[in-house]
């Protein structure tokens, strides 16, 4: 059974290309539909957190001052993930920071990312919007902890992944919705989802 790593970052801004850095990371390992392990840490990247970001995430400069260095945390995160396929909500954001921080830590970062936001856009056209909190409410998923803290958001994304997999099994007859199928579905147009699943089942 394939284990996947569901990840979430908190950061000082939107883009590592603009000098923004990670301030917190959380990773939840999922085997089948069960959480089997967790990793979480604040990190000190030597970049000041603005008042806006502090209010948004609850992560302060004082908290970061006593956190381990970003390179140390990312090396630990790399070992924890162990090259497993990865999942995130709005994965393009987390993947950018994963790659940028891993490059600074001189670690490889070539794990394939599936995106629960893109998958939700394909599978749930009736959802009011595709923010993580809105999708959690739409599916009546449990919320653990404050939104915009890494572990709480990673746990919610993991629960959403479980919902997506369950719906693929129950509504589309996919016995084991593996990571490769999720990657394929998120890349296709919404109207092509059923055809892509049919092709997958025919070739399985």
In the chain, where are the structural domains located? Answer: 3-203
* Model pLDDT for residues 157-194, shown as the tens digit of each residue: 999 999 999 999 999 999 999 999 999 999 999 899 99
Instruction: State the pLDDT confidence band at 204, using cuts at 50, 70 and 90.
Output: confident
Instruction: State the pLDDT confidence band at 115, using cuts at 50, 70 and 90.
Output: very high
Say if residue 146's pLDDT is above 90.
no
Q: What is this structure's pTM? A: 0.96
Contact 86, 5 (CB under 8 A): yes
* Model pLDDT for residues 7-17, shown as the tens digit of each residue: 999 999 999 99
Q: SS in 3 state form for 114-178?
A: EEHHHHHHHHCCCCCCCCHHHHHHHCCCCCCCCCCCHHHHHHHHHHHHHHHHHHHHHHHCCCCCC
Joined tokens for residue 105: 């830590």
Phi and psi at 36, nearest 5°, equal -115, -15
Return the closest-CA partner of residue 163 out of 186, 142, 194, 147: 142
Say if residue 1's pLDDT is above 70.
no
Phi and psi at 126, nearest 5°, equal -85, -5
Q: Which fold has domain 3-203?
A: Nucleotidyltransferase; domain 5 (3.30.420)
Contact 179, 30 (CB under 8 A): no
Residue with tokens 């917190």: 24
CA distance 24 to 114: 20
Long-range contacts of 199-203 (CB under 8 A, 24+ apart): 200/174, 201/173, 201/174
């Amino acid at each position: 059974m394939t284990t996947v790593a569901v990840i979430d970052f908190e950061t000082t801004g939107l883009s590592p290309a603009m000098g923004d850095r990670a301030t917190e990371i959380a990773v939840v390992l999922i085997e089948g539909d069960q959480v089997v392990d967790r990793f979480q840490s604040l990190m000190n990247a030597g970049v000041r957190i603005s008042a806006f970001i502090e209010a948004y995430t609850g992560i302060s400069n004082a908290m970061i001052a006593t956190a381990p260095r970003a390179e140390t945390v990312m090396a630990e995160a790399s070992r924890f993930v162990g090259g497993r396929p990865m999942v995130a909500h709005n994965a393009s954001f987390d993947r950018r920071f994963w790659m940028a921080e891993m490059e600074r830590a001189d670690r490889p970062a070539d794990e394939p990312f599936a995106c629960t936001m893109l998958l939700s856009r394909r599978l749930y056209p009736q959802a009011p919007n595709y923010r993580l909190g809105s999708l959690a409410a739409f599916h009546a998923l449990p919320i653990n902890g404050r939104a915009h803290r890494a572990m709480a958001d990673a746990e919610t994304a993991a629960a959403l992944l479980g919902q997506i997999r369950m719906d693929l099994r129950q509504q589309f007859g996919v016995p084991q919705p593996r990571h490769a199928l999720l990657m394929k579905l998120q890349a296709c147009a919404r109207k092509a989802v059923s055809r892509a699943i049919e092709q997958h089942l025919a070739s399985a």
